[in-house]
Amino acid sequence: MMRKLIYSLIVICALPFMAGAQAKLITTTDKAALFARLDLKRPGLEAAGKLAAQGDYDNAAVALLKYYRQRTNATIPDYSTDDRATYAGKKLPKGVQEKADKGMQHLFFVHTGYDYFDYGKDINWQNWPVKDNEVRWQLHRMYWWEPMGLAYWSSGDEKYAKEWMLQYEDWIKKNPLGLSADNDRYAWRPLEVSERLESQLNLFIMFINSPNFTPQFLVEFLNNYANHADYLSGHYSEQGNHLLFESQRIIDAGCFFPEFSNADKWRKGGIENLNREIKKQIYPDGLQFELSPNYHVSMINVFLKALRATQLTGLENEFPQSYKNTTEQMIMALANFSFPDYVYPMFADSKLVYKNEMVKNYQKWVQVFPKNEMIHYLATEGKEGHLPAYLSYPLKTGGFYTFRNGWDMNSTVMVLRAGPRGEFHAQPDNGTFDLWVKGRDFTPDAGSYVYSGDASIMKLRNWYRQSMVHKTLTLNNQNMETCDAKLKYWKTSPSLDVLQYENQSYPELKHRRTVLFVNKTYFVILDDAIGAAKGNVGIHFQLAEGNAVTDATHTSIRTDFNDNNNLLIQTFGPAIKTVAEDGKVSYSYREEKPRPAVVFEQQKTNNNTTSFATVLYPYASGKPPVISLTKGADFDLDKGKIDLTIKINNKEEHLVTQLSN
Q: Write the Ramachandran bin of 4: left for phi over 0, alpha for psi from -120 to 50, otherwise beta.
A: alpha
**How far does Cα 492 stand from its chain's mean position?**
31
Tens of pLDDT, residues 336-392: 999 999 999 999 999 999 999 999 999 999 999 999 999 999 999 999 999 999 999
Instruction: Give the DSSP letter string of 460-472.
Output: HHHHHH-GGGSSS
- The answer on pLDDT for 12 being more than 60 is no
The pLDDT score that the predictor gives to residue 312 is 84
- The answer on pLDDT for 277 being more than 70 is yes
Q: Where are the alpha helices (DSSP H) in 354-423?
A: 355-368, 373-379
Note if the pTM is more than 0.75: yes
Catalytically annotated residue among 295, 323, 344, 617: 295
Alpha-carbon distance 524 to 514, whole Å? 8
- The answer on pLDDT for 299 being more than 70 is yes
Maximum Cα interatomic distance, the chain, rounded to a whole number of Å:
114
- The answer on pLDDT for 8 being more than 50 is no
Tens of pLDDT, residues 76-97: 768 888 889 999 999 999 999 9
Contact 560, 585 (CB under 8 A): no
CATH code: domain 393-612 is 2.70.98.70
- The answer on pLDDT for 546 being more than 80 is yes
Query: Count of H helices and E strands in the chain?
Result: 19, 24
Give the amino acid at 286: G
Residues with Cβ within 8 Å of residue 84, at least 6 apart in sequence: 153, 206, 209
Least confident of 7-16, 114-123, 234-243: 7-16
The domain segmentation of the chain, as residue ranges, is 393-612
- pLDDT band, very low/low/confident/very high, at 20 (cuts 50, 70, 90): very low
- The answer on pLDDT for 48 being more than 80 is yes
Average pLDDT in the chain: 94
The pLDDT score that the predictor gives to residue 621 is 79
Q: Is 295 a catalytic residue?
A: yes
Residue 120, helix vs strand vs coil: coil
Residues with Cβ within 8 Å of residue 270, at least 6 apart in sequence: 246, 247, 248, 249, 250, 251, 254, 306
Instruction: Give the DSSP letter string of 541-571.
Output: EE--SS-EEEETTTTEEEE--SSS-EEEEEE
Taking the alpha carbons at both ends of the chain, their separation in whole angstroms is 100
